[in-house]
Amino acid sequence: MHIHMKAKLKATSISFQNPSLFNTITSPPPLPQPEALKGCLGSLDGACIEKLLLHCASALESNAITLAQQVMWVLNNVASPLGDTNQRLTSWFLRALISRASRIYPTSMNFKGSNIIQRRLMSVTELAGYVDLIPWHRFGFCASNNEIFKAIKGFKRVHILDFSITPCMQWPTFIDYLAKLQEGPPSLRITVPSFRPMVPPLVNISIHEVGQRLGNFAKFKDVPFEFNVIEDNNVLNSMTSEELRNIESTSFDFESMLSLLNPSMLNLREDEALVINCQNWLRYLSDDRKGQNISIRDVFMNLAKELNPQIVLLVDEDCDLSSSSLTSRITASFNHLWIPFDALDTFLPKDSCQRTEFESDIGEKIENIISFEGHQRIERLESGMQMSQRMKNVGYFSVPFCDETVVEVKSLLDEHASGWGMKREENMLVLTWKGNSCVFATAWVPSEMSLDM
């Protein structure tokens, strides 16, 4: 538990969306029964806020609408999108609970604010600043790139199959490294899917344009470069011209994409080192088991293994959000997502637009975790240990990170606040903030023989 987070319960209400959360509440309701707030009056730290969130969730699950309203009123008194770390985090969890309540009880609870988070589109330059803000993404880039360098040694051709939610932001540094090799750079081919999960960060240009810019950079560095986009022509042919212009905002069928992961469609070549890179991406493949008791997530891993890659990199947030229990997801997400809020608080002012925008993206994630169920709930993280076990079950073998990678990652973290650190857990590298796990990085090969190569 993050006991260092503290916020005082103020006497005056700081409304998150609107002075009145629901039509049915025109004045402050009676506080919840003492047992619902036991130990949470006087001061409101992270543990007490979490307790209130869980009481509210339990009330919604048990149809205790009045109690849920009462707890929301208390939370509304501490929530503020421009307050301290606790207040800002609470505002997004409160919003998500209200959104869930308005879906379950549309006649009993009428949410006065908008339940739609406005998505912003960034330029490539803005995206670069976004991933540099805290090492949430760069940690995985750095750890993965160094292991890729080791795996492709001696190859004249390298093919990276890239699945990432930060369009190609990992590769300029990689290309720059290749350009500096004394023996000259190998030719580099990067293949990406034509679609991505509709989650932040989003850019204002197509993936084809991203590839074109990356190609210009590679040309400037004298690195032979090719950029390919995996496209499902059956899907593309059924789309309107408007949908084609906005292809990355279209909802694609992941199962259709999986059918394209074969040597022929990917134009794999015998003389190239194949690298499969998954950065914050696998969580969006459904883990629901269908048919032969296998999930799309497992199917993807099996298909990737059959491509016989030189190495597979798997990076994601180290948190379990796969539970069907709402209270379990609230506990896990609250104790995980306070980290970026707390980290941003160390160097950005409360009214910073950059901070507000970054937190808004996290808020969208919180809303999906709490407000939605079924196929609409796409934020289905598994912890590093869970994902590692899944990889082993499919038949992959774990690759330990080399000492050079550890040195490079530590050098990266030295550029950020002193709270950031790194630890080893088995063969994983784990990014930490004040000792709390944030992001894990793992490396895998499809056969035990590959470990000796």
Least confident of 62-66, 118-122, 283-287, 428-432: 118-122
* Both tokens assigned to 183: 């023996």
pLDDT on residue 117: 59
What rounded mean pLDDT belongs to the chain?
85
pLDDT 10s digits, 358-396: 999 999 999 999 999 988 999 999 999 999 999 999 999
pLDDT 10s digits, 150-166: 999 999 999 999 999 99
- C-alpha span between 127 and 207 (Å, rounded): 14
What does the pLDDT average to over 413-434?
96
pLDDT at 214 over 70: yes
In terms of DSSP H, where are the helices of 65-123?
65-78, 85-104
pLDDT on residue 39: 54
pLDDT on residue 357: 93
H and E: helices and strands count for the chain: 17, 13
- C-alpha span between 59 and 101 (Å, rounded): 10
pLDDT on residue 358: 95
Residue 227's H or E segment, with its range, is: strand 225-230
What does the pLDDT average to over 71-88?
92
What does the pLDDT average to over 217-221?
98
Answering whether pTM is above 0.85, one says: yes
* Max CA separation in the chain (angstroms): 75
pLDDT on residue 13: 31
What is the band of 43 on the pLDDT scale with cuts at 50, 70, 90? low
pLDDT at 41 over 60: no
pLDDT at 7 over 60: no
pLDDT on residue 118: 65
Higher pLDDT, residue 7 or 363:
363
What does the pLDDT average to over 183-206?
93
pLDDT on residue 272: 96
pLDDT on residue 134: 97
Strand positions, DSSP E, 114-186: 121-122, 157-164
pLDDT on residue 38: 55
